[in-house]
Structure 1
């Protein structure tokens, strides 16, 4: 039986509010579904936002009051998925955590919104989320299945550079892959977020689970990102989907730009602070779609007359044959035949065996 399906990446940007971003996500997902897409990836920090250019009033040994106000606004814009600060794992996924009196759910309703959109469209949604739990923010990736709802969630284990000021570290145990069947095709899916992809041992922890869909939501818009995605595709014999935001300075939230203008450090309004670079790569390292630059799917939501958009309009769609991953294992399986028994990787709290279906 053919193991083909359509996958897509959305080069989108965070809207001025969470409700507006969720509305945009729904419209993009419905458009993708109309074009036969079964799995759709949105960028890192898509829900909640990636606060580019903002230093939150910090320097080594000093914090300014305006930076605390900026963090307050950022915290308020983040998503409450109803999880615990330490991460409740399967208990959170399976809704076993207690809820408050008079409530039928945990969190702010974002989880339920995404589950509804996935169910109604038949599209598996993977998206970056800035998640708040207790008093800490986490950069997370969420997996939403059209039949089972949320299958899992993972938090970035190593925020990069100044990200460490505003985001906590997630547990490596959440690197566990998830499995699903879409249009009769068996998929093993996992995500590495942005510069986690530069971590060889983290990549190996995903290869060991025999992933055939490797998700790489990112904020890296350099032209050096694509070679890394090609390396991962060929190294892991997996399809790689990478989605980035495409953002101009004027599209950042006012709590960032207003202070910069007050201090005289604002950039030009139409200057790109992230040019995108989203792509889809095959299991031999070949580029199947993209990269696309300086175009955003949100820009055509209002202007599209046909109601459909793709490619240069910020939505990359590609039909893939998942059996290509197995074809590639003829001469390369870095967790199996192309490895040495003397080299072993263990991750505390994480079973590296391929998950069962």
Structure 2
């Protein structure tokens, strides 16, 4: 019987990536005192989620103001690995916990990706996942990830991996992770709705894995000029809702709503095996004789670099 502590650090992005990183680092003592083994930090925390922004775009044309907004946003993105991940490596070692954090990644050119970055307390940066399917107008500012960044990471809490916001609704992506033997599913997001939490319970129950969904919290804007189109005054822009769920689909911590903070749950890792007694999506409940899943894990980045070299 092995006991571990899972955590969601529910925070929102500040005006700059540096300010956001400083805020994350300020939680060192609280996370250490909670003896956490895994900390999940929301989607696009470093770099920001531009909720409500249009980037000056309309069907058929883009305004110069939108290009300036894109430039400002791009300058808050980070390289992976890079200076910010180095600071997170030190932070991970200090709290002795694996970190899964949502970032806006500079892909090496002018394309940004919404990514999860994994940091191990002993090994440092160990991998990343780029969002495969940005939703709706997210595609205006983020590129699509490829099959080369669907890692499952060995950690103190077991094998971890996961998906960002609505790509969790891609059934074949979920099966890909199940087939890799995932024990803890991480789901950084900005989706604060109750239906999201219902979906997370389904994924935990379907995969018979623990699940940590960390949601940003962004307070209400100060005045009408700062209000994004379509949002009412008096309501928080992103109201949180982080949860931790066990392999039987039950919420064991949360939801944390309406404030920033740390959400924790002590788990017993053997519960994954107990839950898979009657449903193992990568074992006795997977009909490999009937269904075949093919995943192209080729990196488009490598192809791009080779073409440039030619």
Q: With the length of structure 2 as denominator, give the TM-score of the two structures.
A: 0.91
CA contact (8 A) 1:8 1:318 kept: yes
CA contact (8 A) 1:248 1:270 kept: no
Paired residues for 1:105-116 under 5 Å: 107=82, 109-116=83-90
Distance 1:317 1:154 in 2: 24
Q: Does 1:296 align with 2:254?
A: no
Gap regions ≥5 residues in structure 2: 299-310
Distance 1:156 1:54 in 2: 19
Paired residues for 1:276-315 under 5 Å: 276-297=240-261, 315=262
Distance 2:292 2:230 in 1: 49
Q: Does 1:141 align with 2:105?
A: no
User: Alpha-carbon deviation of 1:267?
Assistant: 5.0
Q: Does 1:329 align with 2:276?
A: yes
Which residue of structure 1 aligns with residue 308 of structure 2?
A: none
Deviations 1:28-66 (A, max 9, x none): 243111111111110000000000010101011110111
Q: Does 1:243 align with 2:242?
A: no
User: Alpha-carbon deviation of 1:249?
Assistant: 4.0
Instruction: Determine which of 200, 203, 208 is the counterpart of 2:174.
Output: 203
Q: Does 1:348 align with 2:303?
A: no
After superposition, the Cα gap between the structure-2 partners of 1:345 and 1:13, relative to the gap in structure 1 and judged at 3 Å, is: same
Deviations 1:83-121 (A, max 9, x none): xxxxxxxxxxxxxxxxxxxxxxxx4x1111111111122
Gap regions ≥5 residues in structure 1: 83-106, 252-256, 298-314, 351-357
CA contact (8 A) 1:44 1:128 kept: yes
User: Alpha-carbon deviation of 1:248?
Assistant: 2.5
Residue aligned with 2:73, SS: helix
Deviations 1:11-38 (A, max 9, x none): 1101121111111111224311111111
Q: Does 1:261 align with 2:225?
A: yes
Deviations 1:294-340 (A, max 9, x none): 1123xxxxxxxxxxxxxxxxx11100011000011110011210121
Deviations 1:222-259 (A, max 9, x none): 110011111111110100000011113427xxxxx9xx
Distance 1:321 1:224 in 2: 27
User: Alpha-carbon deviation of 1:282?
Assistant: 0.4
Residue aligned with 2:221, SS: helix
Distance 1:121 1:292 in 2: 22
Distance 2:182 2:116 in 1: 16
Q: Does 1:316 align with 2:263?
A: yes
Distance 1:213 1:4 in 2: 14
Q: Does 1:275 align with 2:274?
A: no
Residue aligned with 2:26, SS: helix
Distance 1:278 1:59 in 2: 33
Runs of 4+ in 1 over 4 A off after TM superposition: 262-270
CA contact (8 A) 2:184 2:211 kept: yes
Distance 1:229 1:265 in 2: 28
Paired residues for 1:182-193 under 5 Å: 182=156, 187-193=158-164
After superposition, the Cα gap between the structure-2 partners of 1:64 and 1:288, relative to the gap in structure 1 and judged at 3 Å, is: same
Aligned-CA RMSD value: 1.9
Which residue of structure 2 aligns with residue 339 of structure 1?
A: 286
Instruction: Determine which of 123, 126, 130 is the counterpart of 2:100.
Output: 126
For these two proteins, the number of residue pairs brought into alignment is: 296
User: Alpha-carbon deviation of 1:81?
Assistant: 2.2
Q: With the length of structure 1 as denominator, give the TM-score of the two structures.
A: 0.79
